Amino acid sequence: MKMLVDTLDQASGEPLVWGAIALIAVHGIVAAVHWKSCPYLCGTARISREDAEARLKNPFLAGPRFFLMMLAGIAALVTGLLMIDHAIAPAFALMLVIAGVFVVQIEPARLRVTEAVARVIASEAAGPEQAMIAHKRLRDSHLWFVGLNFVLVIAMVAGLAAF
C-alpha cells in the first residue's frame, strides 16, 4: 500500500498522467455527443425488416474486439500494479493502471450500448411496445456509458488531488 501511496504522490505532478485523465474526459464528451446524436434514439435510422430479422438471429454480439480489449486492459492493469509494487517507473505504471481500469470498465458498457442498439433494431420486427422498451434500454445504456466515463474521471482526479 505504501508503494501505491508513493506512486500517487510522485505521479500527481506528472503531466502525462493528467493528460491520460484528460483523454478519458474527452472520451466522455464524445460519448455524450454520440448519445445525443444516436440515430436510433432520434428516429433517423432506417431499419429494414431484413436487418431486424438478422439481428434476432445473431445471438453473439461481443466479437473478438471485446475479448482482445478486455485482455489488454487486464494485462495493463496487472503490469502496472506489478511495476508499482517493484517501484519501476511510477508515472508509467500509474498510466498503465489508469488505462487498464478504463478499458475494463468501459468495454462492458460499450457492449451494453451495442446490445441495446441490436434490441432496438430487432424490436422493429416485434411491435411498438417492444420498440418502446428497447428505446428506453438504449437511452439508459448510453447514459450509463457517459456517466461511467465521468465517474472514472472524477475518481481519478480525486485520487491524484489527494496526494
Provide the pLDDT for residue 59. 64
51-54 LR contacts (CB < 8 Å, sep 24+)? 51/121, 52/121, 52/122, 52/123, 52/124, 52/125, 53/125
- The pTM for the full model equals 0.77
Confidence at residue 3, expressed as pLDDT on a 0 to 100 scale: 67
Q: What is the pLDDT of residue 142?
A: 92
Amino acid 13: pLDDT: 78
Torsion of CA 43, 45, 46, 49, to 10 degrees: -80
CA 30, 33, 39, 44 torsion-angle sign:
negative
Among 13, 25, 19, which residue's Cα sits nearest to residue 163? 13
Question: What are the mean pLDDT values of the chain's consecutive 10-residue runs (163 residues total)?
Answer: 69 81 92 90 76 66 83 94 85 87 91 84 78 89 92 87 74
